[in-house]
Amino acid sequence: MHKNNHEEPYSCIQCKGVWIQSEEIKKLTEYYQDGEGENSLAPKDHDGKTGVCPAGHGIMLRAGIDVDQPFYLERCTICGGIWFDKGELQQVLENRLVDNLEDFWSQSWQRKFRKEKSREEYIKLNREVLGEDLLELVLTLSAELKNHPERNRALALLKQEVLEGSL
């Protein structure tokens, strides 16, 4: 890793990743918003596991960032520094996530992230099995019934119709 002369984070010449101390992140965003930072994300195999804090504090914690091209950030629990693989800082900036970076490592955010990912996978699987048209009908019906005061009656009727036909 090396540090350039101007106020720029430590960077890795090989992988194009950057290490930024938490208090420096907002100061450095101008440098990357001016187009000097790496824009394209590193290959997925680069993001497969967490790393060790470049400042020598041990294994870092990962946080999934769910944007158009999902990726993981790694943060040191001791010094608060964050490792951005190639293109990740630019993605954080483009999606206006800089002010919320700390949230990504909270338990509630991680639970929400896992729940959303699980639902996405569930919907994807059902799209493949049921087909687009039937899935859309089911999702539309579920949205209509979600807050309906007689949803249990409607679900019972639906089940009856599906399993046994008309009465």
- CA dist., res. 116 & res. 97, Å (int): 18
Domain co-membership, 45 together with 85: yes
Specify whether 98 is located in the same domain as 117. no
Q: What is the pTM of this model?
A: 0.56
Q: What is the structure's pLDDT at 46?
A: 56
Residue 2, in any domain of the structure:
no
79 lies in the same domain as 132: no
* Whether residues 16 and 61 fall in one domain: yes
Closest of 102, 70, 107 to residue 85, by C-alpha: 70
Shared domain check, 96 and 52: yes
Same domain, 100 and 22: yes
The pLDDT value recorded for residue 56 is: 86
Whether 5 is in a domain gets the answer no
In the prediction, which pLDDT does 132 show?
96
pLDDT of residue 98: 80
Say yes or no: 85 and 151 in one domain.
no
Helix (H, G, I), strand (E, B) or coil at 75: strand
* 35 falls within a domain: yes
Average pLDDT across each block of 10 residues of the chain; the chain has 167 residues. List them in order.
Answer: 49 80 68 54 60 87 83 89 88 82 82 84 95 96 95 94 78
Residue 126 lies inside a defined structural domain of this protein: yes
The contacts found for 65-69 with CB under 8 angstroms, 24 or more apart, are 65/91, 65/92, 65/97, 65/104, 66/113, 66/116, 66/117, 67/91, 67/95, 67/97, 69/41
- Is the domain of 39 the same as that of 121? no
Provide the domain limits for residue 143: 112-164
Instruction: Tell me, yes or no, whether 23 and 95 share the same domain.
Output: yes
For residues 117 and 64, is the Cβ–Cβ distance under 8 A?
Answer: yes
Task: Looking at the structure, tell me whether residues 137 and 101 fall in a common domain.
Answer: no
Q: What is the pLDDT of residue 139?
A: 96
pLDDT of amino acid 155: 95
Question: Does 28 fall in a domain?
Answer: yes
